[in-house]
Structure 1
């Protein structure tokens, strides 16, 4: 079946300015990521950029982005430049597989990520967060992006494998994932010829991938041979069955899914948390409001899942963080046939990209989009179309880890707010740097133990 083609003459798809010989737009995409993405909106709903000599059709219009992810998603399969590189890590996990295989894996995994399941495992998650945050030293600066990554990796590892996973293994998982996710973005935005000459970086990537998949494979064998030695979601994955056929997952499928979960639930929430702490630390009014709300809900004890519903302002801070500093800035798809997308005719087997950053900074939807304002998310304050806010995607491929991420981020901010005042360390400018996510560079914070909070 082919996609519908335009009945009238298709719109011309312009090529963005700044196309360099051999590099295309790769330099701008890598070195000036956010200003470059912002500039693409001025070309219209679809604009062509080049990575080396490879054409990529960037969708900039929120409504057209929604169609790519929902009503016309059958013509836009997961893949393309970034999707293919992620598949190097995730294999045939639910995040990279298409067609019937994707539907089957999603049916099996969905129950493990619903609200009730996450609630049942939230104590383990909260303990992991508390263990890290309580270990900070008064007045000792920390690098926020790395620390939040470690917190999210630790929280998800203990949720995934159970609370007995040794700390050295947690640190190894963290280092391996950082190497792999940085490598994915390098492979995505660099021209093909440049990737071929990055011999040392490619070897590090391959070694990290083999080690990560080897560790998860050994945990699977241990879990099958000695049930109870691993717990959490991982044990449930070993026992999970397709509701239609009753079949479970093979060991290879479980490796793919576990690695997919590790790769998608660590760095993105960690990056979002780092940006949230940046805004909290440099805006005393926001910090006081978050702390007051946490104090009223928890009264000096560590937050629990039952407290999260009371943290309305804290949730708005995180909602605005994921709009203003959304971790995901570039995602790709692969067209299965020629597609008429809003009058733009995109050829078959083409790389199509969309950007949460472009959508989230559309001034037609978000007035003064460069301003950080949690109160723009007050009830009835702003009518935002569903297609204009997509931190976890849309449609049949919407992130399975959304409930986990929200729970983990709220618990982390609440744990920090209840214990610490945060202050920027020196006046070093913080700038966004593109990796797999847009991370804050030079974001160092100093925690000070709170003296004016309810007694435990």
Structure 2
């Protein structure tokens, strides 16, 4: 297998074939989510039990897929707007929180699923992949030169696994459905995208091409960049305080102790960088020699460490969908 996403995208496509053959509508949003979960869980765990495995069937209704959809939608909103309340909810007993709201039920379900996966990973009967993330965390103390080094607790392992799982799906599961929906609104553009993909991938029955091939296709590249730009990711990152002596940002002096943040929405919707920023226009990335920045995965030393894998996944998924299928909206506008 060339790219880490290629094999899983082929399996995803076979499940989409079931809907195409039956001429039935398909929930592509959940399909993409299930695909991206399967890929990130390949990285985290040696294996996943059948009952929790993503891409298990053409309905894309595996438990972790459904739980992440419900949990992320609720907790992201609460954590952003009421961080203290969200932190308190995590400290209180489940029975007490449930009396106040049922919205945390999906969070508790997901926590339980991840705890099950950690137990499965530690089960001596489970075949292990020493290169998966959890095995590296479990065995990290063995490589330590400190005599006081001890194994990580199951609680820490579960937290690391869940945070990584969220990171692998939270943005991609918004970018891909949004971009697919926008392309589906323009049949002429979708046909041009299909022709571009066909030129690079003549036999649709062959596996999806590698990222090194796909990333040079201008329309596909434009669709993905425009989809990232208009979904924004985490709108506001952690605020930063200017150090002693102040600093210059964009030609403007910022005094010491000033709190500075760069919300992605304002970066992506800047009309100077992106004329008519509210318009979904993949060709702006072809025609503009100096496109504006995309900060959905942040920038600099603290940017998402898996940004390259995210691009591999998106290029492969979009290519498979628009080379092999004609996408039209169903009961939505």
**Normalization by structure 2: what TM-score?**
0.74
2:132 matches 1:233: yes
Provide, for residues 119-153 of structure 1, a one-character-per-residue CA deviation record: whole Å limited to 9, x for no partner. 56334433443344333245422344333323322
Cross-structure match for 1:219: 117
2:222 matches 1:316: yes
Cross-structure match for 1:141: 25
2:290 matches 1:407: no
Cross-structure match for 1:377: 285
Provide, for residues 397-420 of structure 1, a one-character-per-residue CA deviation record: whole Å limited to 9, x for no partner. 111221221111111111112221
Does the CA contact (< 8 Å) of 1:219 and 1:230 recur in 2?
no
Superposed, 1:234-313 pairs within 5 Å as: 234=133, 237-238=136-137, 241=140, 250-251=152-153, 252-298=155-201, 299-300=203-204, 301-305=206-210, 307-313=213-219
Higher alpha-carbon deviation: 414-423 or 295-304: 295-304
Taking structure 1 as reference, are residues 338 and 185 closer, same or farther at Cα in structure 2, changes over 3 Å only?
A: farther
Taking structure 1 as reference, are residues 338 and 424 closer, same or farther at Cα in structure 2, changes over 3 Å only?
A: farther
Secondary structure at 1:136 match in 2 = helix
Does the CA contact (< 8 Å) of 1:337 and 1:347 recur in 2?
yes
Taking structure 1 as reference, are residues 160 and 225 closer, same or farther at Cα in structure 2, changes over 3 Å only?
A: same
Secondary structure at 1:151 match in 2 = helix
Cross-structure match for 2:326: 421
Secondary structure at 1:332 match in 2 = coil
Q: Distance in 1 between matches of 2:214 and 2:84?
A: 49
Q: Distance in 2 between matches of 1:344 and 1:323?
A: 27
Secondary structure at 1:365 match in 2 = coil
Q: What's the offset of the Cα at 1:392?
A: 0.9
Q: What's the offset of the Cα at 1:166?
A: 1.6
Secondary structure at 1:422 match in 2 = coil
Superposed, 1:88-127 pairs within 5 Å as: 119=2, 121-127=4-10
Q: Distance in 1 between matches of 2:137 and 2:32?
A: 29
Q: What's the offset of the Cα at 1:322?
A: 0.9
Unaligned residue ranges in structure 2 (runs of 5+): 55-61, 90-95
Write out the 4+ residue segments of structure 1 that deviate beyond 6 Å after TM superposition. Answer: 192-198, 246-249, 336-339
Q: Distance in 1 between matches of 2:42 and 2:18?
A: 17
2:271 matches 1:366: no
The alignment's C-alpha RMSD in Å is 3.9
Does the CA contact (< 8 Å) of 2:197 and 2:319 recur in 1?
yes
Secondary structure at 1:288 match in 2 = helix
| 1:166 equivalent among 39, 46, 50 | 50
| 2:37 equivalent among 149, 153, 177 | 153
Taking structure 1 as reference, are residues 275 and 202 closer, same or farther at Cα in structure 2, changes over 3 Å only?
A: farther
Superposed, 1:437-448 pairs within 5 Å as: none
Cross-structure match for 2:237: 331
Provide, for residues 172-207 of structure 1, a one-character-per-residue CA deviation record: whole Å limited to 9, x for no partner. 212332233123233235457987899549754655
Taking structure 1 as reference, are residues 202 and 410 closer, same or farther at Cα in structure 2, changes over 3 Å only?
A: farther
Q: What's the offset of the Cα at 1:319?
A: 0.9
Q: Distance in 2 between matches of 1:248 and 1:316?
A: 48
Does the CA contact (< 8 Å) of 1:376 and 1:382 recur in 2?
no
Q: Distance in 1 between matches of 2:25 and 2:140?
A: 47
Taking structure 1 as reference, are residues 316 and 192 closer, same or farther at Cα in structure 2, changes over 3 Å only?
A: closer
Provide, for residues 335-382 of structure 1, a one-character-per-residue CA deviation record: whole Å limited to 9, x for no partner. 49789464455758x6x643212101111111222222222222x733
Does the CA contact (< 8 Å) of 1:317 and 1:374 recur in 2?
yes
Secondary structure at 1:303 match in 2 = coil
**Normalization by structure 1: what TM-score?**
0.56
